[in-house]
Amino acid sequence: MAMFSLHLPKTAARFGVRRTSVSANLVPPMEMWGQPLPEKIGSAPLDWRSLGFEYVPTKSHIRFAWKDGVWDSGHAFQDPYLPVHMLANVFHYGQALFEGFKGFHTKNGDVCTFADKLSWQRLSHGCRRFRMPEVPLEIWENAINETVRDNVSFIPPYGTNGSLYVRPFLFGSGPRLGVGPSTEYTFVVFVNPVGSYYQTDSGAMQALDGLVNDTYDRAAPLGCGDCKAAGNYAADLESMHAAKRLGYPISLYLDARERRYVEEFNTSNFVAITKDGRYVTPDAPRSVLDSNTNKVLQQLAVDLNLPVERRQIDFEKEVDSFAEVGAVGTAVVVTPIRSLTRGNQTWTFGEPKVLRELRDRVRAIQNGEVEDKHGWMRQIKLDDAPRDKTVLSVYPGL
Ligand SMILES: *Cc1c(COP(=O)(O)O)cnc(C)c1O
């Protein structure tokens, strides 16, 4: 009985659970539903090294409701379906914002989120722009802490290269026929274990060929491109699909007014390292999403004594000066861009040496392998007593 990749908890045997040899990400076998799993980091029966960026059912999520100007105290739920009124603003008038960051099991055994305060600030910015109530920092942090704690067995163990993706989202959930801000709001936090997306087994970074978008704009100059709004993603799908059909897995948007200045990739920021070693990234605070990863990388570039320039980037004038180009965001940190094509011209970039070094520094901080000088990591205490939770429904109970 030596060969199985399924990481079943030791106590599973006590419950008479049959151990089977399984290699893919899996939902616990039916016999295990309802069995109390020993709750410790990585004890969920998943193959940690084969995780991608796909939905994995976990134990619970947390929801807070806002009504008449106040937030309730939140409830944890196992059922992943939300009961939402059909007249909810989110379905008709699109009040929906989300966030995403990761939690890590670090080298010394702690569990920490990375830069979740920056996500909270960005969500608050979106709330003001979309006339939604802000989520107080205390609710934000408690919601994250409790969700992570309750799903501790789904935290990928240190050394597996995985992390616990945390997805908070907020939407207008109250019934109202006419246009206007919703009468009620729902704030949800769920977690999902993820692997290292777009990365090969050897840890090599997979480079992508990109297309410069000349048939779609991502964000109007004074629109809502600076908000992590669900609708911005819907608006990008057709253009993403069109680029993919032409063989480009990623596309780059230029400014909507002149289609001349670099803005960002579909769902990640644009960063270039120039041939003379400067870190350049667009400065377009009203139309480019303020990426937390980009902020972190800029700080680490400063630490490495690289000049950092946030400014307008004239694509055609400057593209030849770029040694490295990367698409940056939480999911992958840095995805190197091998080439960019516009019309019948293609520009090719070099090996991502500087970008790799910056990426490795971020990963080392996230893994707790080097000092977190800038205070991006926030520890979640796993042994805090869980407060009384109301589990209102169970589906499928893990
Ligand atoms: C989420 C997102 C990013 C990346 O932001 P991070 O905070 O680094 O994850 C970049 N661009 C867009 C449009 C996004 O939605």
The model's pLDDT over 91-126, given as tens digits with 9 standing for 90+, comes to 999 999 999 999 999 999 999 999 999 999 999 999
228 annotated active-site: yes
Q: Is the CB of 291 under 6 A from ligand 1?
A: yes
Q: Is the CB of 182 under 6 A from ligand 1?
A: no
- Strand 250-254 and strand 208-212: the pairing is parallel
Q: What is the DSSP string of 223-269?
A: SSTTS-BHHHHHHHHHHHHHHHHTT-SEEEEE-TTTS-BEEEESSSE
Helix axes 353-366, 292-303, angle to 10 degrees: 110
Q: Which residue has the tokens 């990761």?
A: 102
Q: Is the CB of 329 under 6 A from ligand 1?
A: yes
Q: Is the CB of 287 under 6 A from ligand 1?
A: no
How far is 185 from 64, CA to CA, in rounded Å? 8
Residues listed for the chain: 398
Dmax (CA) of the chain: 68
Q: What's the pLDDT score for residue 32? A: 59
Cα of 269 from ligand 1 centre, angstroms: 6
Q: What's the pLDDT score for residue 26? A: 52
Substitution candidate for ligand 1 out of 116, 267, 328, 333 with most atoms within 8 A of CB? 267
pTM over 0.85: yes
Q: Is the CB of 236 under 6 A from ligand 1?
A: no
Cα of 221 from ligand 1 centre, angstroms: 18
Cα of 226 from ligand 1 centre, angstroms: 10
Asked if residue 387 has pLDDT above 80, the reply is no
Q: Which residue has the tokens 């995805």?
A: 335
Listed in sequence order, the residues at least 6 apart from 245 whose beta carbon sits closer than 8 Å to its beta carbon are none
User: For 8-12, what is the mean pLDDT?
Assistant: 37
Model confidence pLDDT, tens digit, residues 331-366: 999 999 999 999 999 999 999 999 999 999 999 999
Domains and CATH numbers, the chain: 61-195 (3.30.470.10), 208-370 (3.20.10.10)
Q: What's the pLDDT score for residue 33? A: 61
First vs last Cα of the chain: how many Å apart?
Answer: 26
- Position in ligand 1 atom list of the atom nearest CA 236: 13
**What rounded mean pLDDT belongs to the chain?**
89
Cα of 330 from ligand 1 centre, angstroms: 7
Q: What is the DSSP string of 110-171?
A: -EEEESHHHHHHHHHHHHHHTT-PPPPHHHHHHHHHHHHHHTGGGSPPTTSS-EEEEEEEEE
